[in-house]
Structure 1
Amino acid sequence: MTVPDDLVRAVEATLFAAEEPLTVDQISNHLGKAEVRSALAELKAHYDGRGIRLVERGKRWHFETAPDLAHLLRREKEEARRLTRAATEVLAIIAYHEPVSRNEIEAIRGVQTAKGTLDVLMEAGWVRAVGRREVPGRPVIYATTPEFLAHFGLGSLKELPGIDELRAAGLLDPVDDEMIETALRPQPVDTSDEPPEPECDE
C-alpha cells in the first residue's frame, strides 16, 4: 500500500512537534482521523540507521537519538538518578508483577515499604496508580508507565530481562541477585492483616 507523501510528512511533523510520545489514536485524531499506521511504518523504516530513529514504547511513538550516538548528547554535569536498594526492589516487583498493591509488594519483599519509596518512583514518572483492587479496603494498585519503558529502552514489559540475562550481563552483585530473583519468582500474596517486619528504607 502506497502512503501519500503529504500524510507521511504530516505524521512526521506531528511527532517532531509533540511534547510527549503519542499513541496511534492521538496522531490520527490530530490529523482528522487519518489512518496513520502505514505512515508510521514508512517513517520507521526511513529513519532506520540514521542519527535519530522513530520508536514505539508502550504503544506510544516518538523520535529518539540512535543508541550508539547517545553519548554525544549526554551532559557530563547530569547525574544519573540513583535509587536506593528499597526503591530498586519495589520498581522490580512492580515491573514484573503489575498491577500490584502496596500490601502485595510488602508480601513479596517481606518488609514494610516506606511511603517515600513509592513517591520517588512516581515523581520519576516510572510508576503510577492505575486503580483499586476489588477486595475489602480497595487498596490502590500500581503499574509502570510508558516513561519507564522509554527510559529503559523497552518496547513492552515482555522485553524485561530474565534473571539469567541479568546475571550474564554482569548487572547483579550477590545481594541484588537474591533480591531480583525473589522479585521475578511468582509468589502467593499474603492478604492477612498481620503487618510484615518493619524496615527503615535507605
Structure 2
Amino acid sequence: MAAANRRKAGDEAPLDRELADLQAPARWREWMRRAEAVIFAAAEPVPREMIARVVGADCSIDLLIDDLNEDLRDRPYEIVAVAGGWQHRTRPRYAATVRASAAPVRSPAAGLSDLEATVLMAIGYFQPVTRGELARILGREIGRDTIGSLRGAGFIGSGPRSPTPGAPYTYVTTRHFLSAFGLATLRDLPDIEALEDAGLISRHDLEAADGPGSEEEAG
C-alpha cells in the first residue's frame, strides 16, 4: 500500500517488451497485437521507432507487418506503408461501397475545395514552386488565401527561397500531405502525363517561362 501511495497518479509499470516468459509463438503473436493496436489507435502513420518501443529488441518489424497483413487478408482493411510509417487503410476494392454508404470518412483531404485540391496537386508535382510558377502552371492567379488555407491544414510548408529576382518563397508538401493521400513517398504520385493529357496542368508552360511572373512576391 505504501508503495502504491508513492506512485504518482497515472504512472504505470514499465512495459515488458521482451516477454521472455512466453514461448516464441505466443511472444510473436503478442508483438503483432501490440503493433496493430498502436497503428489502429494512431491519428497519423506510425513510424518504425514507435513500434520498436513496444516490441522486443530482436523483433523484425518488417516481418511483423507482413504477418499482420497475412492475418488481415480476408478483412476489408489492411496495413499500408504511408508517409514513412504504417497506417490502417480500407482496401481499394471497397472504396465504392464506402462512397455508396455516404458515411463520413476520416480523410483530411475531404474538405478541400476544387481550387485548393488543384493547387495542392501542382505543388506536389513541381515543388519547390512559387506562387508565380503555380499561376503559369494552372493558367490563373493563385491568391494568398488559397496558399494560407493549405498551410493551415498542414498540407504544405515553406521551401527554400527561389533564386529568381526578388527571392520569392517556394512551397513544398509535408508528411501530412503524404498521409492524407495514402502515399509512401512522392514517387507514388500518379503519372503526371495523364494529368497533362486531361488539361489539368501544363508542365510545358512552366518550363517555357523565361522568368518570374509579374505577380511574383516574397510571401
- TM-score of the superposed pair, with normalisation by structure 1: 0.67
Matched-pair contact (CA < 8 Å) for 2:159–2:172: no
CA distance in 2 between partners of 1:47 and 1:162 (Å): 30
Match of 1:52 among 77, 90, 94: 77
Give the Cα–Cα distance (whole angstroms) in 2 for the partners of residues 112 and 91 of structure 1: 14
User: Could you say which residue in structure 1 is the equivalent of 2:30?
Assistant: 6
Q: In structure 1, what is the Cα distance between the partners aligned to 2:182 and 2:66?
A: 19
Between Structure 1 and Structure 2, the one with more strand by share is 1
Which is greater in Rg? 2
SS in 2 for 1:158: helix
| SS of match in other structure, 1:70 | helix
Cα distance in structure 2, aligned partners of 1:184 and 1:58: 29
Tell me the equivalent position of 2:113. Answer: 83
Q: Secondary structure at the match of 1:149?
A: helix
Instruction: Describe the shift of the 1:84–1:14 C-alpha distance in structure 2 as closer, same or farther (beyond 3 A).
Output: closer
Local SS of the residue matching 1:4: helix
CA distance in 2, matches of 1:185, 1:195: 15
- 1:27 aligned onto 2:82: no
Identity of aligned residues (%): 29
Equivalent in 155, 158, 162 of residue 191 of structure 2: 162
- The answer as to whether partners of 1:20 and 1:62 remain within 8 angstroms in 2 is yes
Q: Which has the higher contact order (CA 8 A, sep 6+)?
A: 1
Unpaired runs of 5+ in structure 1? 198-202
Equivalence map 1:83-102=2 (5 Å): 83-85=113-115, 87-102=116-131
Q: Quick one: structure 1 residues 153 and 15, their matched pair in 2 at CA, closer, same or farther if it must change by over 3 Å?
A: closer
- Distance verdict in 2 for CA 1:184–1:162, change over 3 Å: farther
1:178 lines up with 2:206 in the alignment: no
SS of the counterpart of 2:33?
helix
Tell me if 1:187 matches 2:207: yes
Does structure 2 conserve the Cα–Cα contact (< 8 Å) formed by 1:101 and 1:141? yes
Q: State the one-letter code of the partner of 2:87.
A: H
- Structure 2 contact 82–178 (Cα < 8 Å) conserved: yes
Aligned match of 2:146: 117
Q: Is the 8 A contact 1:129 1:142 kept in 2?
A: yes
Instruction: Give me the whole-angstrom Cα distance separating, in 1, the residues matched to 2:161 and 2:74.
Output: 44
For 1:187, the aligned partner's letter is: E
